[in-house]
Amino acid sequence: MVDYGKLADRAKALQQARRRGGESPQTPPDDPRQLYEKVKICVLQEADKANKELSKRGMVLIQRVLSPSYSGRLCLSLGISLLCNVEYTPHPDGGCRIKAILSGPPNGAEISRKEFLAVNESPEREKLERLGNIPWAIGLAPQNIAVEIVSGLLAGEFA
């Protein structure tokens, strides 16, 4: 019963509300890797929600790929056609990026990619520090990032 189109619209509205200051942002964790761990948990929860809808329609389900070559990454597949890798990339300045990369047919090449910047890399960090409002990631909380990743996997590309 989850409509990922509506969830994506809701995530966009929340993002815009945060940019206008309509919602009080959360404080970032001391270790940026905590953001990635929270995103992984949220992605798996969203995949479970999506799988309920997919199974009602008799479609292939989103599954987690557990392979030694993918250690340190969260890998999801949609049948045998699409693979989504969610990676954490630390930076020396203490920031991080979470990258979601979709690969698929005909030759397993990259189809689409989306990067989510942690607040430490944002050019708006200084401005937010002065105001006393530092969100987890500019405009996106772990739940919103997870919705975008699962929605992108189902759509076959990131918007």
Q: Using one digit for the tens of pLDDT, what is the confidence trace for 99-152? A: 899 998 878 889 999 988 765 444 555 555 555 544 444 446 788 889 999 999
Number of domains comprising the chain: 1
Read off the pLDDT of residues 54-66 as tens digits, 9 standing for 90 and up. Answer: 999 999 999 998 8
Range of the domain at 123: 4-20+28-155
**Banded pLDDT at 29 (limits 50, 70, 90):** very low
Tokens of 148: 């975008």
Q: φ, ψ for residue 96 (rounded to 5)?
A: -155, 165
Beta bridge partners of 140: 137
